[in-house]
Amino acid sequence: MNTVSLSNHAERINNHHDAAQAAAQSAIEHALQAGQLLIEVKASLAHGELTAWINQHCVSNKCLIFVKKVIQLILLILNIVYVNHRGEP
pLDDT tops 90 at residue 87: no
Where helices occur in 1-89 by DSSP H, the ranges are: 3-44, 50-57, 61-86
Domain limits for position 35: 3-86
Q: Residue 1's pLDDT is what?
A: 60
> From CA 82, how far away is CA 84, in angstroms rounded?
5
Burial tier of 54 (Cβ tally within 10 Å: 0-12, 13-18, 19+): middle
Tens of pLDDT along 27-54?
888 878 888 888 899 899 999 998 888 8
pLDDT tops 70 at residue 88: no
* Amino acid in position 4: V
Tens of pLDDT along 10-20?
999 999 999 99
> From CA 50, how far away is CA 71, in angstroms rounded?
11
Into how many domains does the chain fold?
A: 1
